[in-house]
Structure 1
Amino acid sequence: MTVLSSRCNASKVLRPERCVVLDGKPCAACTEDIELEKQIGELETLIYELYNRRRALRTVMNDNHDHLIHNFPPEIVSHIFVLYATPNVSTHKNKRSTPLRLGAVCRKWRQLAWATPRLWSSLALDFTFGKNDPLHSLHLIDEWLERSASLPLTIRYDDRSAHPQAANILNKHSARWHDVHFDIAVHHLHHLNSPSQGNSSCLLVLRYPFQFSVRPFDFPPFRATELALKSVPVPHVNITWNNITVAFLYDICVDQCIEVIRRAPLLRTFRLQAIKPLSHIFPLPNARILHPQVRSFELSENSSNVVATLDSLSFPSLEEWINDDYSQLWNGPELPEKMTSFIRCSPSLKIFKINIDHISCHRIIEGLHHFSTIEVLGLHSVLHRFRIIQLLDALCAPTQSQSPLFLPHLQSLEFVSKIYFPWESLPQIFSSSRWRSLRVKVNTRSGGHDTEVKTAEVLGELMEGFDLSIGKIDEPEWYY
């Protein structure tokens, strides 16, 4: 039996070299352990050497079998890398094609990828809802932006909670911000610098948190070109309004919507959704506010508050009006009259798109008689196939000789249908001599697949020479 020294019997395990007996040598167990540790060290060294040899061997294998690096100059390979790995920062898509995956292939790919600044000039960070994104590593964010050298930066930064350290890293490169999208809580706006480039594009989405205390404006106004307010009162927004060209207001009071028009002289696109009643913070105007720059106006999920909005605004340069309305207001006695009055103030209107669900066919046709300047008419339906049939019949009905020409400047008719489209009613449009040169576009949820393809082929044969296109609905990537 092996005899242990008195030091080995201690409660604390000691290193073998500290174990000695009376003659100054370690005990038998410690001697064996020392020998095993030596052998383990030798094997670990051998394994390390084998890994190095294998790594070098795989480098040679990559050199022998990598047709990309050997067959193309570095400039071409870099361009291919950029085409593969540049992310779509507006939608957070293509995360699988991150340039980090290129660097994981082999050493030469990594060296070339790390030395290609264009690969790192776009960055999408999403800190919302506790997402486990590998790019949440602050060190990696810093390295990513450093690799972009001096190129202009495209950045999307979504952060509903506070991550000031990530914001500080982005701020280090604010002089190079070219196209940026910030989606943050309104009381975190002070964490970010304003874009310093005069030609930079900045979309700022501000949200109202569940728990929020008003923060004093102890920081310079933020410079943005596009603004989306989600339930954020206008008095809580500290921005430079003179640069705003696009505004989307959701769950904002009527008087505050009108105040945005007052404050943004360069506004060209104005979107309103879920408008709330008066907050009485700002006075309603006694006369219409004329804004000569607005070109596109969109109303969604309208309420009775729309009437007050239309009564207060005038867009003489308006070219596009989208009325994505799911309410019954069009059938009421007041809104059509207000819309007609609003249209008279917009003599340049060329495009009108409307959701026809919940609106009687008679009321739609009656309203369209006042849209004599439009060249593009878009009809959107989610629920009613029969409503589309009614409208097609009405459009193709013969016009009384004494009546004014219906839609005299119409050039294009667009249908967006999330139900099966009534194809059997479509040929009657082209049978009318008046609409024979009309461009007709039909987008359906199943466009380009199965039944829709067969239908397109049949219609193409029947209506050869007519301008008909069939497509699939692209579900909107709402960056707001």
Structure 2
Amino acid sequence: MLGEPNQLPYKNLRYRKHHASVPELERVPHHTENEIRDAVLRQVAAVKSEMEQTRALLREQSKECLRLYSKLNSLSSIDRLPAEIKTEIFHNALLPVSNLKNFHASTGRGGDLSVTPFSLGKICKGWRNFVWSSPLLWTNIHLCLSKRRYESQTTLLREWLSRTAGCALSFHLTAVASEPLQTWILDPPREILVAFASVSTQWKEIEFFIPDNKDCFDAIFVAKISLPLLTTATVRLLGSAEEKKIDLFSMAPQLSALHLYPTFYLDMVTAPWHQLREFSHSESTVEEIHAFLHKAPNIARCSFHNIDSELILNSRSLNPDLFDRSPMLEHLEYLEFSFCSINTRSTRILGSVKLPSLRELSLSGPYGSLWPILDSITTPFHSSPLLEKFTLGGTISSDHDLIRILEKIPSITDLCLTFTTSRHELLTNELLQRLCPPHENILLPNLRSLTYHGPTSLNSNMHLLRDVLVYRSRLGQSASHATEYSEPRTSRIRSVTVITADELVVGPDIQHGLDTLVQDGLVLSLTSTWKDRFGA
């Protein structure tokens, strides 16, 4: 009992001490918290002010750094060059057409790593000022149209053209290969063509396509009034211009090269044919080609692709009198005919035209067993004494027909035969025997280079090939060789290339002989794709 009173006061004391602290906290003045908050805010404001001052100082220091860099750049060798030389250096850096295929690359949105004036302008302020004020650096324009970037490309083209200051322009307009060209017929790039036509007096070299659309024709043909600087033009038509009169180039006094693809009807095209030096066309007819050769007396290089001998133009373009004339194309040095169909009308393509300066000829088509037609086509070339390079491709029935063509053009020095679709084996013993003794009438006495691509029977005639190469490659090496192997009228062969899908088997003795010829300087390549075909 006596211990109980002592315990109670102890418990009460602990209780009182515990609650005694509460009134002390409650006695902290409320206005002290506000003062602390205000003090912290003042400190934050002071720090922000100091940060702003630091940023301002950094901006000034950055400007000073740029000024110093600019001064440093001005001390570089290129910036101390005369403006003309500096312009030439920059212009050469921009030039090659292959480096500027994708005009949209200058926007930084994809494409190749082309060098454009915009790229040079990013180097430094001094370069940018120089490039922006040098019209010559903006005269090569390569625009690859894209539906996704069309609006930005239109804006960029206008800005680009504004910097050309009347200089002669090289303009190349293409389209992204992954987008169907048909989309440009349905939704044509009229704004681009209008901008393009607005500087037609500056055109020097142009390459562009025109969708078969009235708005596009109206947009581009406002340029036909005058083309005083134009020298080279390449136009691709998306669609057909059969009923459209094309006289865009009639007022081009310096035009020397014209390329039209693929469905232009030549009787509907007006151009200064008499002054052309280079011309190419696709999907032509026999009548169109014959008429062209009669009205282009100064032509030097001429190519016709996908010639359709079965297609006959209507009477508006036919002039029977032309086939009775014998024009002299004294400047023509290169001629290419690529047929997609062959018939007797093909023989009228040249008629009796004279080609005294012809040096290179390329013929391809499905000749097959139609040797008389091919022989007639090649007849005018028999009197071309300078003809040295001859390319023949497509199909042909036999070496016998091939020999009859080649023996009429003895001036050939470089021969390329491509018969990849032929079902007949060529390079047989009949042809090989004609290339070396003991044959008294040696074929192609001036031959220096032979390239053959097609089916062969070389496996059974490999020894003949070796004999031909031994005879032809050792001519003129020494007096003894000349006495033993050669005749004065036969040239030394320097290069032979054979590519075939057939298997080639070369025995050790023949291989040794061929290796010896290679060591003596003959460029020789025998390639078989037989393993690739059969997965061996």
Does TM, scored on the shorter chain, surpass 0.5?
yes
* Richer in helix (by share): 2
Query: Are the equivalent residues in 2 in contact too, given 1:87–1:95 (CA < 8 A)?
Result: no
Shift of 1:320: 1.7
Instruction: Tell me, yes or no, if structure 1 residue 119 matches structure 2 residue 111.
Output: no
Instruction: Tell me, yes or no, if structure 1 residue 56 matches structure 2 residue 63.
Output: yes
- What is the distance in 2 between the residues matched to 1:315 and 1:151? 41
Deviations 1:248-282 (A, max 9, x none): 22222222222222332322222222223211331
1:232 match: secondary structure: coil
- What is the distance in 1 between the residues matched to 2:99 and 2:291? 29
Deviations 1:105-124 (A, max 9, x none): 33233223324444222112
Residue 234 of structure 1 aligns with which residue?
Answer: 266
Deviations 1:381-422 (A, max 9, x none): 546897468798356442423xx33223x25314265999x9
- What is the distance in 2 between the residues matched to 1:371 and 1:232? 34
Deviations 1:205-253 (A, max 9, x none): 242526x683467978353431324122223323332232222222222
Instruction: Tell me, yes or no, if structure 1 residue 106 matches structure 2 residue 106.
Output: no
Q: 1:178 aligns with which of 185, 199, 204?
A: 204
Q: 1:267 aligns with which of 299, 306, 315?
A: 299
**Between the two proteins, what is the percent identity of the paired residues?**
16
Query: Are the equivalent residues in 2 in contact too, given 1:322–1:352 (CA < 8 A)?
Result: yes
Q: 1:201 to 1:444 in 2, by over 3 A?
A: farther
Q: 1:400 to 1:106 in 2, by over 3 A?
A: same
1:97 match: secondary structure: coil
Q: How many residues align?
A: 411
Instruction: Tell me, yes or no, if structure 1 residue 155 matches structure 2 residue 210.
Output: no
Instruction: Tell me, yes or no, if structure 1 residue 254 matches structure 2 residue 286.
Output: yes
Shift of 1:368: 0.7
Q: 1:191 aligns with which of 222, 226, 238?
A: 222
- What is the distance in 2 between the residues matched to 1:309 and 1:131? 49
Q: 1:71 to 1:347 in 2, by over 3 A?
A: closer
Shift of 1:322: 0.3
Deviations 1:298-347 (A, max 9, x none): 1114422562434635232222210133x2x1522422331353333534
Q: 1:84 aligns with which of 93, 112, 119?
A: 93
Shift of 1:371: 1.0
- What is the distance in 2 between the residues matched to 1:203 and 1:96? 24
Counterpart mapping for 1:212-227 below 5 A: 214-215=243-244, 221-223=250-252, 224-225=255-256, 226-227=258-259
Q: 1:257 to 1:251 in 2, by over 3 A?
A: same
Residue 144 of structure 1 aligns with which residue?
Answer: 160
1:192 match: secondary structure: helix
- What is the distance in 2 between the residues matched to 1:47 and 1:310? 84
Instruction: Tell me, yes or no, if structure 1 residue 278 matches structure 2 residue 312.
Output: yes
Shift of 1:372: 1.5
Counterpart mapping for 1:19-418 below 5 A: 56=63, 59=66, 70-75=76-81, 78-88=87-97, 92=101, 96-127=114-145, 130=147, 132=149, 136-138=153-155, 140-149=156-165, 151-158=167-174, 163-185=189-211, 188=217, 189-193=220-224, 196-197=227-228, 200-207=230-237, 209=239, 214-215=243-244, 221-223=250-252, 224-225=255-256, 226-276=258-308, 277-281=311-315, 282-284=318-320, 285-287=322-324, 289-292=326-329, 293-305=331-343, 307-310=346-349, 312-317=351-356, 318-325=358-365, 327=366, 329-355=367-393, 358-380=396-418, 382=420, 387=426, 393-394=432-433, 396-401=435-440, 404-408=441-445, 410-415=446-451, 417=453
1:96 match: secondary structure: coil
2:380 match: secondary structure: helix
1:141 match: secondary structure: helix
Shift of 1:378: 2.3
Query: Are the equivalent residues in 2 in contact too, given 1:295–1:320 (CA < 8 A)?
Result: yes
Query: Are the equivalent residues in 2 in contact too, given 1:241–1:264 (CA < 8 A)?
Result: yes
2:91 match: secondary structure: helix
TM-score by length of 1: 0.68
Q: 1:215 to 1:411 in 2, by over 3 A?
A: closer
Deviations 1:125-179 (A, max 9, x none): 344x7473687234x3343344344543322234866545444444454444333
1:137 match: secondary structure: helix
- What is the distance in 2 between the residues matched to 1:391 and 1:84? 55
Instruction: Decide which structure has the larger Cα Rg and report it.
Output: 2
Q: Which amino acid aligns with 1:304?
A: I
1:270 match: secondary structure: strand
- What is the distance in 2 between the residues matched to 1:176 and 1:126? 20
Q: Which amino acid aligns with 1:314?
A: V
Deviations 1:445-475 (A, max 9, x none): 9xxxxxxxxxxxx9887534435388xxxxx
- What is the distance in 2 between the residues matched to 1:228 and 1:218? 13
Q: Which amino acid aligns with 1:260?
A: F
Q: Which amino acid aligns with 2:169?
A: L
- What is the distance in 1 between the residues matched to 2:165 and 2:158? 12
